[in-house]
Amino acid sequence: MSPTRTPIWEAIARTLTKDIGAGHYAPGDKLPTEAALAIRFGVNRHTVRRALAQLAEDGLVLPRRGAGVFVQGRPTDYRLGQRVRFHQNLAANGQLASRQVLSLTTRPCDKGEAAALGLAPGDPVHAFEGVSLADAQPIALFLSVFPADRLAALPPALRAEPSVTRALAACGVADYVRQSTRLTAVLATPTQAIHLRLREGAPLLRSVAVNTDIAGRPVEFGTTWFAGDRITLTLGPDAPQRGVE
């Protein structure tokens, strides 16, 4: 059997995504016209229109009737190091970080959460769910689970300021590091697609990680679903610290 060929419109969408990510088009810039892009890629305008529709669905561009197609955002370069700090990561990329809280509850942990945090199944944990945004564009969904008995004051700290770093510091965890990370490619569920403003079935990168304090005790079991077309995950040494999340 011959290998499945990538649709031309999809290849064009990937190329334009790379162009935006490389800074060839900055947020607010107008993309070339459909006619110009058709000439560049050697296709008809219908094919170009399908590629631009995909970029719009992914939240990278915004079509304006009668004016053209404008860049709405650019893929975020996100470093996964031992000390991962959301706000610092985005600031290093020249982007403004923010978070939308979806849920903050205290409940019994399941077996997987118990194993990751060194608890017994059914022990209480704080479950913190939300959306991470870069320049007001959603880039990831997150679920962070914390041991409730040890971090009893965490929920009010997170309600006052949805920064995990500051909230943990307020509970006596002055510093923490990433002990392990597991990355998996998955497809967006209907509810994930709504929150991330993607189509159902869009590619996501799922990160499952355990963070520990300096003494090696688990303080956070986190799962993050990154919008695949909006972020580039980089593995490597940590950048110099310039403040906290």
List pLDDT tens digits, range 94-118: 767 788 999 999 999 999 999 999 9
76-235 is classed in which CATH architecture? Answer: 3-Layer(aba) Sandwich (3.40)
Mean pLDDT (whole number) for 29-34: 93
In one-letter notation, the amino acid at residue 90 is L
State the pLDDT at residue 84.
65
Q: Residue 2 above 70 pLDDT?
A: no
Question: What does the alpha-carbon distance between residue 103 and residue 195 come to, in Å, rounded to a whole number?
Answer: 13
Written as six digits, the tokens of 142 are: 């997150």
CB atoms within 10 A of CB 120: 10
Closest CA to 27 of 69, 86, 57: 69
Written as six digits, the tokens of 89 are: 């990561």
| Class of residue 169 by CB neighbours under 10 A (exposed 0-12, middle 13-18, buried 19+) | middle
Question: What does the alpha-carbon distance between residue 241 and residue 64 come to, in Å, rounded to a whole number?
Answer: 40
Minimum mean pLDDT among 4-13, 72-81, 184-193: which range? 72-81
The domain 8-71 is classified under which CATH number: 1.10.1760.20, 1.10.10.10, 3.40.50.300, 1.10.357.10?
A: 1.10.10.10
State the pLDDT at residue 143.
97
Say if residues 206 and 225 touch (Cβ distance below 8 Å).
Answer: yes
User: Which helix (H) or strand (E) segment is 70 a member of?
Assistant: strand 68-71
State the pLDDT at residue 127.
98
User: Which helix (H) or strand (E) segment is 47 a member of?
Assistant: helix 45-57
In one-letter notation, the amino acid at residue 91 is A
Domain segments of the chain as ranges: 8-71, 76-235
What predicted TM-score, i.e. pTM, was given to this entire model? 0.69
Residue 113 has phi, psi (to 5 degrees) of: -65, -40
Question: What does the alpha-carbon distance between residue 196 and residue 79 come to, in Å, rounded to a whole number?
Answer: 20
% of the chain beyond a pLDDT of 70: 86
* Residues in Cβ contact with 92 at an 8 Å cutoff, skipping those fewer than 6 apart: 79, 239
In one-letter notation, the amino acid at residue 136 is A
Residue 40 has phi, psi (to 5 degrees) of: -60, -45
- Residue ranges of alpha helices (H) inside 99-184 are 111-117, 154-160, 164-170
